[in-house]
Amino acid sequence: MLKQKGEYIHPSALLCIVTATNYKKFAKITGLQLETVNERQKQRVKKGIYHIQHVNNFHNRLKKWMERFQGVATKYLDNYLYWFRWLDKEKNLAFEKRVEQMLVLACQKSNYSTVEILRSA
């Protein structure tokens, strides 16, 4: 079931993709603005600002990070993704500060609260 626009996707979000029909349909269903980059024609950037390198870079970092777990159960996938998001978001903090934040978050009343905080970040 596809969630309504705004529940998971910010209303002002822009979808920048490599030309693919399924993404075009998704953009239409969700009402997202769409920009396509055609890699087959060696197009890397469109209009000087639209490219998919940030997505490719993020995907590569996530894939490399997930490899260490040698697969995860689907029911826990959200937890792993939020964990990665938190680590990625705080990557510029000093190690000691990251450890301090992790300990504070771990001491909250419930894990559900921690997940909700990460979701809203």
pTM of the predicted structure, to 2 decimals: 0.53
pLDDT at 2: 44
pLDDT in tens, 27-40: 888 888 887 777 77
- Count Cβ atoms below 10 Å from residue 69 Cβ, excluding itself: 10
Q: Helices 77-89 & 53-67, crossing angle to 10 degrees?
A: 120
pLDDT at 1: 38
pLDDT in tens, 72-90: 888 888 888 888 888 887 7
